[in-house]
Amino acid sequence: MPMTEPVVLAAAGAAVILDVSGPGLPRVLHWGADPGPLDEADLRALVAAAGGDVASAADGPLQPVGGMPLLPTQWDGWAGRPGVTGDRAGRWPYLRLARDGAVRVSADEVVAEGVDETAGVRVRAEIRLDPHGVLQVRHTLTNTGADEFSVAALRALLPLPDRATEVLDFTGRWGLERQPQRRPLGNGTHARESRRGRTGHDATPLLIAGTDGFGFAAGEAWAVHIGWSGGHEEYAERISGATAVLGGGELLEPGEVRLGPGETYATPTAYFAWSDQGLDGLSGRLHRMVRDRPSHPRSPRPLTLNVWEAVYFDHDLDRLTALADLAARVGVERFVLDDGWFPGRRDDTAGLGDWIVDPAVWPEGLHPLVDHVRARGMRFGLWFEPEMVNPDSDLARAHPEWILATEHRLPRPWRHQQVLDVARPEVADYLFTRIDALVTEYRLDYLKWDHNRDLLEAARDGVAGVHRQTAAVYRLLDRLREAHPGLEIESCASGGGRIDLGILARTDRVWTSDSNDALDRQQIQRWTGLLLPPELMGSHVGPSPAHTTGRSAGLAFRCATALFGHAGIEWDVSTCTEAELESLTEWATLYKRLRPVLHNGRPVHGDVDGVVTDDAAVFVYAQLDNPAELRPRRVRLPGLAADRRYEVTRCWGEEAAGATLTGRALATVGIQVPPLRPEQAIVFEVRPSH
């Protein structure tokens, strides 16, 4: 018997209400605040207010204003981007999905299937609300016909209310990722698309629609993230006479997904979050979801020293062991050897793909360095870039057919690299065998997995291959993790070029940006932190002046910035003065003391940026520009329990007085801080007063 009552999924103050009574896929009647208990009459009233079932063309408009099918098509009267589209040798571009079978409903999930018998297509729609109020939407399409069906798009879409009048997203470039841009949401389509073959430095971690003037702590906001590392799209669309939508999916090239009879295509998961507490409410939900993943790192995030900006390609055992000695002295817990350890790698023009230790530079292998590092009580990590190859390499000379290209039409070179076709089983086997051998021989604790170019003209035999490549890289990572359960992997893509929940299902942190300029990092980390909690964002103290920008900043400011992430050092510490080494040691000790708060709390923003737990908090007040007036001011500390009394102490940065006040007083009256000049900061530790 078909279900007639609407279905309500509710959790953590959020809800989605689905009308499952019609002949097609369920319609979304509401997505946002949990309306509370609804009886049968209430639910029927919601359906009636939304316009009832989808009407036929003879009876009236096809698309009721208030109800959005999970996969809207032109048959539903939808004139926007269709939820699903494809063709069978140019035929059947318009699908009519009639529901097939009963809608399956559980406490947190709705699953429905639709079929177009004539076009030979079956679609399964899944929508799940997790305990933190984050919706996860995923679709699959099966070719039930007798010949090939080409999938053009299969999107996850949810409706937006009329009060969502603004849209916020992010752009950027190498060394300056996650830069915000905001505009009105009027009629038309605001789309962010990536055809880079990786997430992209200019990709938006979230596409956010909100009420007028929404900010960190106030206003309603609706957001979407596509958990996929290949081509992808996120967009908000408002069309005259129809419901506005927010959504996206994998961005497929023509002919990229062609299904034979019985074959199935599954979308990446689309993550949707709603908040009535502004951006902090969104990130709070998303952080709790991310931290709940079985693969989320549970152990304290080790203080890391990466040697890239210290030595670049100049690998020398004596120099590196001296760095390891200093690293151990200041409190580093993980030492990472970056690019330059394999044959011919004296610069970035040669050697990629030849994953053996260079006997000319390392005649005893890496063992002397690895043993020295471990004798100093540190873990050891190694840099790789498995998906790329230099034409000047033994691998490329032996297997030119392994390059992701069509015949002799090589893609335009970039960084002296081409892309390996990881979707070839022999290529994936080669990479696994080489990496597995090195992880085993040196008992590696950590891989820095880099990806330094976009995938241009990524095709094999003339067929676009980004989808195939992305899935193959995921399989390779999964295979390595299965073979080495304790191995941690960082997702680096010339900095922050591959940050998404697809790659993070297989990695333990991201390299947030190649820029260690602390001023730029303040903004990069703030906005990346909308999606990711601090413990997943690599954040290192770099030298002054910064190698990427040439800008100078004091050590206290650089340390304060790096504190709010998975902290580390990217600096030739052999050039440090004794005073600098002592400061780094003090900072390392502080990081280890504060990371239980920093890596478990919820984000708050306002006069300060902070992380708050039930028992403690850490806030940073940073001066990023040149103030018009140098005078003391009061800054408020949000997010604490209103009636609890707290002791606020300065623990890093410029000198400042502390205070003992209630959470309500700290959030409304605040504490006084001294005037700061550009690139100065104060870090406050907050603990309950006893």
Interval 381-402 mean pLDDT: 98
Domain extent, residue 235, equals 54-291
Gap between the Cα atoms of 666 and 349, Å rounded: 55
Tokens of 106: 């559980």
> Which pair of structure tokens corresponds to residue 254?
């023509």
Q: How confident is the model at residue 149 (pLDDT cuts 50, 70, 90)?
A: very high
Spatial CA neighbour of 402 closest among 466, 353, 464, 333: 353
- Write the single-letter amino acid at 611: V
- pLDDT tier for residue 673 given thresholds of 50, 70 and 90: very high
Task: Please identify, among 274, 291, 308, the residue that sits at the C-terminal boundary of a domain.
Answer: 291
Count of CB atoms situated within 10 Å of the CB of 7: 19
492 is annotated as contributing to ligand binding? yes
Inside any domain, residue 242? yes
Q: Which of 291, 323, 339 is the last residue of a domain?
A: 291
Please state, for a pLDDT cut of 70, what percent of the chain lies above it: 97
pLDDT at 630: 84
**What is the DSSP pairing of strand 68-69 with strand 27-33?**
antiparallel
User: Does 351 reside within a domain?
Assistant: no
Percent of the chain with pLDDT over 90: 91
Amino acid 612: pLDDT: 98
Per the domain annotation, does 120 fall within a domain? yes
Per-residue pLDDT at 474:
98
Q: Per-residue pLDDT for 57 more than 80?
A: no
Residue 451 annotated as lining a ligand binding site: yes
- Establish if 627 belongs to a structural domain: yes
Spatial distance between the Cα atoms of 18 and 6, rounded to a whole number of angstroms: 5
Per the annotation, does 212 bind a ligand?
no
651 carries a ligand binding annotation: no
State the CATH number of the domain containing residue 682.
2.60.40.1180
Residue range 126-146: mean pLDDT, rounded: 98
User: Does 592 show up as a binding residue in the annotation?
Assistant: no
pLDDT band at 407 (very low <50, low <70, confident <90, very high): confident
Identify which of 343, 34, 46, 18 has the alpha carbon closest to the alpha carbon of residue 158: 18
As a whole number, the mean pLDDT across the chain is 95
CA-nearest of 387, 449, 390 to 415 is 390
User: DSSP of 270-322, one letter per residue?
Assistant: EEEEEESSHHHHHHHHHHHHHHTSTTS--S----EEE-HHHHTT---HHHHHH
608, amino acid identity: V
Omega within 30 of 0 (cis) for the link into 545:
yes
Are 228 and 470 in contact by the 8 Å Cβ rule? The answer is yes
Q: Is residue 551 part of a domain?
A: no
Residue 17: pLDDT band with limits 50, 70, 90: very high
> Does the residue 145 lie in any domain?
yes
Collect all residues with Cβ–Cβ distance below 8 Å to 406 and sequence separation of at least 6: 457, 459, 460, 461, 462
Say how many residues make up the chain: 690
**Does 226 fall in a domain?**
yes
244 has pLDDT over 50: yes
Strands (E) in 434-514, as ranges, are 446-449, 459-460, 463-464, 488-491, 509-511
Instruction: Tally the domains of the chain.
Output: 2
Catalogue the active-site residues: 450, 514
Q: Is 339 annotated as a binding residue?
A: yes
Last residue of a domain, one of 248, 266, 291: 291
> Is position 620 within any domain?
yes
Question: Which is more confidently placed, 79 or 45?
Answer: 79
Q: Is 452 annotated among the ligand-binding residues?
A: yes
> What radius of gyration, in Å, describes the C-alpha atoms of the chain?
27
- The CATH number of residue 77's host domain is 2.70.98.60
CA distances to 106, 163, 530 from 48, rounded to whole Å, are 24, 21, 37
113 pLDDT tier (thresholds 50, 70, 90): very high
Note the pLDDT of residue 51: 64
424 annotated to bind ligand: no
pLDDT at 3 (0 to 100): 55
pLDDT computed for residue 62 by the predictor: 44
Lookup: tokens for 662: 């209630």
